Amino acid sequence: MRQESTDALIDMRGVGVFRAGRWLVSAVDLKIGRGEIITLIGPNGSGKTTTAKAAIGVVRPDAGTVTRAADLVVGYVPQKLAVDRSLPMTVTRMMTLTTKADASTIGAALERVGIAHLHKAQVHDLSGGEFQRALLARAMLRRPDLLVLDEPVQGVDFSGEVALYELISELRDSEGCAVLLISHDLHVVMARTDRVLCLNGHVCCAGSPSSVAASPAYRQLFGARAAEALAVYRHHHDHTHLPDGRIAYPGTSDHDHGACGHDHRGEPHGAAVKEAGAPAAGRKAEHDHA
Amino acid sequence: MLDDFFVRALLAGVGIAVVAGPLGCFVVWRRMAYFGDTMAHSALLGIALSLALDWSLLMSVFLISALVSMILVLLQRRGGLSTDSLLGILSHATLAIGLVSLAFMPWVRVDLLGYLFGDILAVTKFDLAVIWGGAVIVGAVLLFLWRPLLAGTVNAEIAAAEGQSPERARIAFMLVMAFVIAIAMKIVGILLITALLIIPAATARRFATSPEVMALLAGLFGAAASTGGLYLSLGWDTPSGPSIVVVALAMFILALLPLPEISGRIAAVRRQGETS
């Protein structure tokens, strides 16, 4: 198993998490290669966050195995983060929450996400978009191999959403880190996603975003233009086991799966991983993070 | 100099306050005030244990407080009841068992009020050595744990994902708190230890822009409150613990008031802005 997964940052096989008498997720297979962007989508309560947490070791799985690359550096932007008002914390101070960094590195990181002018501001006073950018800068400051973003556009208006996704794409391109993105939005995912995993307690389907995968231009992932930051990825569930309006579509034939087939559990994801992983891994070597 | 009981008490109070301040900041940030109360109440059971088995008081109080905090961790993992309710059960259960146990030992003549509210006459040279030795240990542990504890306070998941082991830091923090309660008991008394943790930290919040500044200020304000309170206690023959808390509270209330000089200046600047 070790030898097989040397090219992968994280290799999850048949992972399940059991809490309070029920399986939050089960039988999840997910392999994340270097430099790959993977998006987890699914309705509320479908186990996206749980899957991501199991991948990076925040949650211990009750079934299956998770193999992580040695010395894997993770940068994490959680779904919910509210700094208690009793805790004074400037933007600059928050940057070094889990890692050391000098002032110029911090300044550069804040500059990258466009909030350098807020370095002295208290985090409580930031707007939703500014705070998300600060969290992104903080996670990137660690020079992570894998950036995990749980609903990163939460509390951000639509134009800010587009800008934030573009920023994430840019950061990925320049840093070469893999990205595990979680979105509850079934309609909009990042254009540059290598692979989409649709969850609903288990892996409903997995594959590249249909419309993008169809075009050969998309295969040259890094050549794609930054302007194309969003892609519409339509996916309608043919089953309605959660009372969520978003997936309760009447038509079951209205599928737009494209290359994405149902239940990839048995299939190896290796091909997609290597394709995207090879160039990124090469660039990663230049960085040589500590 | 150390032969003067009051000097010993002052040094003991300052020694406790300088570590209680930073520790209290975490209690405030993590919303653990009731937890501090629970551990302090369990100290009475520790006293009973010490008297029954003729163990060292410090050791017994630390053991019982640490035991209670670990029971809490286990009960929390089990789930079902809120932390609030669990603390309510543990807090009063340990207090009650402590008092009942003391009643079973009629041969023991115990100055209960002294334990509950603190007694400045009680500080021996040995106590002073324990307090300052303990303060150095607690300070060192806090420095060592600072990053994981703070990261875990902001967000336990970030801390866990980014290799800070927040759960280990949390348990270490609870043990440190049990230790501080054990050494602070003689001066502040069981019932008011949480006040010495929380009030200076709350006062410091008003002036702090970073967690580190808040921790240092809390230690400073705590030391000032402790010194002021002990003078009050000496001058008016009041119990030491409540006197310290009253002074700490006075400082907190003063900090709530707008600073007259600065607010006057701001008003002047505003007026200028309006006319120009």
Q: How much is the pLDDT for A263? A: 39
Residue A195 lies in a domain: yes
* The dihedral sign for the CA sequence B47, B48, B49, B50: positive
Helix (H, G, I), strand (E, B) or coil at B4: coil
φ and ψ of A73, to 5 deg: -100, 120
Interface of A with B in 103-162 (CB under 8 A): 122, 142, 148
Label residue B53 by pLDDT band (50, 70, 90).
Answer: confident
Q: How far is B212 from chain A (nearest CA, A)?
A: 9
The rounded percent of chain B whose pLDDT value lies above 70 is 93
Sort out which chain B residues have CB atoms less than 8 A from A53's CB and list them: 157, 161
pLDDT tens, position by position, B76-112: 888 778 888 999 999 999 989 988 988 888 777 777 7
- Contact indicator for A113, A167 with CB cutoff of 8 Å: yes
Residue-wise pLDDT tens digits, B227-245: 999 999 889 988 888 999 9
How many residues are given for chain A? 290
Query: Which CATH number goes with the domain that contains B61?
Result: 1.10.3470.10
Of residues B154, B159, B164, nearest to A83 (C-beta): B154
Tokens 């925040």 correspond to A58
Question: Amino acid identity, residue B245?
Answer: V
pLDDT for B270:
57
- Closest by Cα among A74, A76, A94, A92 to A84: A94
The arithmetic mean of pLDDT across residues A23-37, rounded, is 86
Asked if residues B148 and B159 have their Cβ atoms less than 8 Å apart, the reply is: yes
Q: What CA–CA distance (Å, rounded) separates A259 from A257?
A: 6
Of residues B147, B153, B209, nearest to A98 (C-beta): B147
On whether residue B225 sits in a domain, the answer given is no
The closest of A164, A103, A179, A99 to A134, measured between CA atoms, is A164
A103 min Cα distance to partner chain B (Å): 15
For A50, name the nearest residue in chain B, comparing CA atoms only.
B157
How many domains does the structure of chain B reveal?
A: 1
Residue B96 domain-assigned? yes
Q: Inter-chain contact A122–B213, Cβ cutoff 8 Å?
A: no
Task: Collect all residues of chain B within an 8 Å Cβ-Cβ radius of residue A81.
Answer: 154-155, 158
CB contact under 8 A, A89 and B210: yes
Read off the pLDDT of each residue in B238-260 and give the average, rounded to a whole number: 88
Which residues face A32 on adjacent strands? A10
pLDDT digits (tens, 9 = 90+) for A66-78: 888 888 899 999 8
| Full residue range of the structural domain in which residue A29 is found | 8-73+145-153+177-280
Least confident of B70-79, B139-148, B207-216: B70-79
Q: What is the mean pLDDT of chain B?
A: 87
Provide, as residue numbers in chain A, all residues whose Cβ is less than 8 Å from the Cβ of B77.
Answer: none
Residue A219's CATH number: 3.40.50.300
Q: Cβ contacts (< 8 Å) between A124 and chain B: which residues? A: none
What ipTM describes this predicted complex? 0.82
In a domain? residue A220:
yes
Cite the beta strand spans of chain A per DSSP E.
8-19, 22-33, 37-41, 63-68, 74-77, 146-150, 178-183, 188-190, 195-199, 203-207, 230-232, 261-262
Mean pLDDT of B31-36: 88
Give the pLDDT of residue A248: 42
Binary contact (B161, A142; C-beta < 8 A): no
Contacts with A, B 141-160, CB within 8 Å: 147, 150-151, 153-155, 157-160
A287 has pLDDT over 70: no
* B217/B204 Cα distance (integer angstroms): 5
Q: How far is A9 from chain B (nearest CA, A)?
A: 14
Across the range A145-173, mean pLDDT stands at: 81
Q: How far apart are CA A281 and CA A274, in angstroms?
A: 10
The partner residue sitting opposite A97, judged by closest CB among B31, B151, B209, is B151
Query: B85 has which bridge partners?
Result: none
A271 belongs to a structural domain: yes
Nearest CB among B28, B155, B164 relative to A86 is that of: B28
Compute the average pLDDT of residues A153-160: 74
pLDDT range class, residue B67, cuts 50, 70, 90: very high
User: How confident is the model at residue B96, as a pLDDT?
Assistant: 92
Query: Mean per-residue pLDDT for B177-194?
Result: 86
Which of A74, A87, A122 is the closest to B161 by Cβ? A74
**Tally of residues, chain B:** 276
- Least confident range from A112-116, B91-95, B222-226: namely A112-116
pLDDT given for residue B267 in this prediction = 56
Q: Which residues, numbered 209 to 268 in chain B, qualify as contacts with chain A under a Cβ-Cβ cut-off of 8 Å?
A: 209-211, 213-214
Is B220 within a domain? Answer: no
What is each CA distance from A223 to A54, A158, A171, A189, A226, in whole angstroms? 32, 25, 15, 19, 9
Which range (A31-45, A155-169, B208-222) has the least confidence?
A155-169
A91 located within any domain = no
The residues, any chain, with a CB within 8 Å of residue B114's CB and separated by 6 or more, are B122, B189
Mutate to test the interface with A, among B155, B199, B213, B214 (most CBs of A within 10 A): B155
Q: What Rg, from alpha-carbon coordinates, does chain B have?
A: 20
What is the biggest distance separating any 2 CA atoms in chain B, rounded to whole angstroms? 81
CB count within 10 Å of CB B65 equals 28
Burial A214-223 (b: 16+ CB within 10 A, else e): eeeebeebee
Window A:65-84, CB contacts with B under 8 Å:
74-76, 78, 81, 83-84
Residue A140 resides in a domain: no
Mean pLDDT, range B235-261, rounded to an integer: 87
Q: How far is A6 from chain B (nearest CA, A)?
A: 21
Alpha helices in chain B (DSSP H): 5-29, 33-53, 57-78, 83-103, 112-117, 125-154, 156-161, 166-188, 193-205, 211-236, 240-256, 260-275
Q: What is the DSSP string of A78-120?
A: -S-----TTS--BHHHHHTSSS---HHHHHHHHHHTT-GGGTT
Question: pLDDT tens for residues A161-212?
Answer: 777 788 888 888 888 888 898 876 544 555 667 787 777 787 777 766 654 4
Size of interface A-B (CB pairs under 8 A): 68
Q: Residue B136: which pLDDT band, with cuts at 50, 70 and 90?
A: very high
Q: Which whole number is the average pLDDT over B174-194?
A: 87
Mean pLDDT of B191-218: 92
Spatial separation of the C-alpha atoms in residues A197 and A149, rounded to whole Å: 15
Among the partner-chain residues B154, B163, B210, the one whose CB lies closest to the CB of A90 is B210
pLDDT surpasses 60 at B224: yes
Rounded average pLDDT over A262-283 = 38
pLDDT digits (tens, 9 = 90+) for A211-261: 444 434 333 332 343 234 334 433 334 444 444 434 444 443 334 443 333
Euclidean distance between the first and final Cα of chain B, in Å?
63
CA–CA dist B61, B52 (Å, integer) = 13
Half-sphere exposure of B85 (CA within 13 A, CB side): 6
State yes or no: pLDDT of B138 exceeds 80: yes
Closest CA to A150 of A58, A78, A52: A78
SS3 label, residue A197:
strand
**In angstroms, how far is CA B231 from the centroid of its own chain?**
20
What percent of chain A lies above the pLDDT cut of 70?
65
- Cβ A87–B29 below 8 Å, yes or no? yes
* Residue B238 burial class via C-beta count within 10 angstroms: exposed 0-12, middle 13-18, buried 19 and up: middle
Interface contact flag, A81 B155, Cβ < 8 Å: yes
Residue of A nearest to B201 (CA): A86
User: A220 in contact with B at a CB cutoff of 8 Å?
Assistant: no
Q: Which residues of A141-167 are buried (b: 16+ CB within 10 A; e: fewer)?
A: bbbbbbbbbbbbbbebeeebbebbbbb
pLDDT level of residue B164 (50, 70, 90 thresholds): confident
Instruction: Kindly list the residues from chain B whose CB atom is less than 8 angstroms away from the CB atom of residue A97.
Output: 147, 150-151, 154, 158-159
pLDDT at residue A154 tops 90: no
CB contact (8 A) between residue A97 and residue B154: yes
Predicted confidence at residue B245, as pLDDT, reads: 93
**Host domain of residue B178:** 5-194
**Cα dihedral A26, A27, A29, A30 in deg (nearest 10):** 0
Instruction: Check B155 against A53: CB less than 8 A apart.
Output: no
Interchain CB distance below 8 Å, B31 and A84: yes
Q: How many domains does chain A have?
A: 1
Q: Check: CB of residue B222 under 8 Å from CB of residue B248.
A: yes
Q: What residue in B sits closest to A84 (Cα-Cα)?
A: B29
Q: What is the pLDDT of residue A46?
A: 80
